[in-house]
A and B are shown apart, each in its own frame.
Chain A
Amino acid sequence: MSETNSRPAAGARIVLRDVTKTYPGQAGPAVDSFSMDIAPGELIMFVGPSGCGKTTTMKMINRIIEPTSGSITIDGEDVLSLDPNELRRRIGYVIQQIGLFPHMTIAENISVVPKLLSWDKKRTRDRVEELLAVVELDPKTYAARYPRQLSGGQQQRVGVARALAADPPVMLMDEPFGATDPITREKLQTEFLRLQEKLSKTIVFVTHDFDEAVRLGDRIAVLSERSQIEQFDTPANILANPANDYVSQFVGHGAALKRLGLIPVNQATLGPAVPVRGAIEVGINDSLRNALDLLVLSGGTPVAVVDAHGRVVGSIDIERISAVLGAEIVPSALTGARP
């Protein structure tokens, strides 16, 4: 079989050093001395308000926007010394408006980069089929269709498939799920996470939705004006210890709840199994947020924890959940009257 069916190219290391963008005729730089080290296979989220320069920063990696100064390397190779078009063929690129070419079929859209790389017909066709299957669109049904015959969610999947076409080690994604309705968006996010688990690309993902960042990111960079990094850490650490007021404002209310959403029940010290039939149950691999949700329903009575086979392995209550987080940030009202 062709190499396309072998293990996909793992991610590459991206290093940005003092990257600055100044637009002519503007007082200050749009991006000011941005530095970041991205490990291979990491999914990095850029979060910040609109106009903070997060998209500009991302677009400098594939030189859709040329940096004014600074250096960018991918796997040690200086991006600025490469031919920009050659460079872009090795970087997957997904934008919010998707940008599927309306006059090309789905198959033609996906084969744009393979064609630019002069792959032969068979290899291209096999790759298209493979990718459509990866994003769960039946090749027989969809390959010959035109973008306008697809729903928004389907188009977005094709957008991702197109970006993956030449199996690039790096992907840049600019609010790819921004224009879809909440239900579709959540579905796309789940699929995307599943996909990334298999592919482990190095991904820079821009969003203004902090919840999306928490849900998807390995690390989150919270950006402010001129693309200044306010905090760059894992979602759990940012939620637990926001670096400053700006970050806590961005995290918003309910930081504890968001953190609980990241932690599985098995991280808690479980209480004794409650042998009550018909009691409310939570899976051991569910999030603590789900457990809390059920505790509210149960009126505070401990909820049974079951393993993958449905066997009750313990119980969980509010104290045990708050113990995981560290009691100081759980309001006393929730934990009950404790002096």
Chain B
Amino acid sequence: MTVQASRDLATAFGTASNRRGRYFSFKRIGTPVVIVVVLLALYWWLSTLALDSIELRTLNWDYLLERTFEHLRLTVVASAIVAVLAIPAGIALSRIHSRAVHAIVFGIANVGQSTPAIGLVILLAIVWKLGFEVALVGLVAYSILPVLRNTLVGLQQVDSNLTEAARGMGMRPLQVLAQIELPLAIPVIVAGLRTALVFCVGVATVATFINAGGLGDMIVNGLKLQRWPVLITGAVVVSCIALTIDWLAGLAEDLLKPKGL
């Protein structure tokens, strides 16, 4: 059940990116337009408000840029670690031709998928400590699964006739991997990385609860102090970051996709 289930989930998540239709060009141009419009509207709205001293303490460029930097640092560092760990691990797993091993991995991935990010981060903080490192570990642990799973699925879905043809032409196993399997699995692997990046932006938002900074700070402060402009700014900016990263990852996906597919 577990293997089938995670395949189903993977395909359900994958359908949008596998089906490149007309909407894609809309998304390509539409997304940045929406982001810019939203940010401009936010700026205009804020500039019409008479902000009190509490609001001014957070609604200024220095504070905003610092939180954004913290947020991006968490996201990017975590994603880089994920890529470095999960892709080789996925390749190694794909070399193990054991249904049992794969079922266990998909099973763990399944449980991992149902683990609430907030619970994971807070548990880590309780058993370890507060701060950036802990948040980083939480982000990595949470977003490693989609990349691992996509690497495995991406390599497994390569047509076995192609690998046989490659072997039949005298390629060594590593040559088959590097020249045939990996190029053909790239779209799926990059889609996994894209998911991981978006996960990271989201989970980095709850990092505020364990004193790891980021734009979640503004949301939490805004709520605590009942200052809606602060809360809204934090929420809107973090959403725009998520959209931008997803958009950039989408572009990368298109660029890295081997021609001829």
Contacts and interface: CB of A to CB of B under 8 A. Distances in A.
Interface of A: 62, 64, 85-91, 93, 95, 97-105, 112-113, 116, 146-148, 162, 172
Contact of A116 (B162, B164, B175): B175
A105 B260 contact: yes
A85 B171 contact: yes
A97 B161 contact: yes
A87 B170 CA distance: 7
B190 to A, nearest CB: 14
Contacts of B164: 64, 95, 99
B261 A88 contact: no
A277 B233 CA distance: 99
B81 to A, nearest CB: 28
A102 B161 CA distance: 12
Contacts of B250: none
23 contacts: A64-B167, A85-B170, A85-B171, A86-B170, A88-B168, A88-B169, A91-B168, A95-B161, A99-B162, A99-B164, A99-B165, A100-B165, A101-B162, A101-B165, A101-B166, A102-B184, A102-B258, A103-B259, A103-B261, A112-B169, A116-B169, A146-B259, A148-B260
B172 interface: yes
B183 interface: yes
Contacts of A88: 167-170
A72 to B, nearest CB: 16
A116 B184 contact: no
A148 B261 CA distance: 8
A97 B160 CA distance: 10
Nearest to B260: A146
Contacts of B168: 62, 64, 88, 91, 93, 95, 99, 172
A87 B207 CA distance: 57
B161 A99 contact: yes
A101 B170 contact: no
Given A95-B161, A105-B260, A148-B260, 18 more contacts: A62-B168, A64-B164, A87-B170, A88-B167, A88-B168, A89-B169, A97-B161, A98-B161, A98-B165, A99-B159, A99-B161, A100-B165, A101-B165, A102-B258, A102-B261, A103-B259, A113-B169, A146-B259
Interface in B26-73: none
Summarize B's interface: helix, strand, loop or mixed.
helix
A88 B175 CA distance: 14
Interface in B122-165: 159, 161-162, 164-165
A113 B261 contact: no
Size category of the binding interface on chain B: 20 to 34
A95 B165 contact: yes
A287 B261 CA distance: 46
A265 B250 CA distance: 67
Interface string B179-223: 110011000000000000000000000000000000000000000
Contacts of A102: 162, 184, 258, 260-261
A95 B149 CA distance: 31
Contacts of A162: 169
Given A85-B170, A85-B171, A93 B165 contact: yes
Contact of A103 (B161, B167, B260): B260
A101 B180 contact: yes
Nearest to A106: B260
Given A95-B164, A146-B259, A103 B170 contact: no
Nearest to B175: A116
B172 A85 contact: yes
B165 A116 contact: no
Contacts of A87: 170
A64 B159 CA distance: 16
Contacts of A112: 166, 169, 171, 179
Contacts of A93: 165, 168-169
Contact of B170 (A89, A99, A100, A104): A89
Contacts of A147: 260
A114 to B, nearest CB: 10
Contacts of B175: 116
Given A95-B165, A97-B161, A113 B260 contact: no
B156 to A, nearest CB: 17
A146 B183 CA distance: 15
Contacts of B183: 103
Contacts of B167: 64, 88
Q: Which of A62, A90, A101: most chain B CB closer than 10 A?
A: A101
B176 to A, nearest CB: 10
A105 B261 CA distance: 11
A147 B259 CA distance: 11
A73 to B, nearest CB: 19
A102 B167 CA distance: 16
A113 B161 contact: no
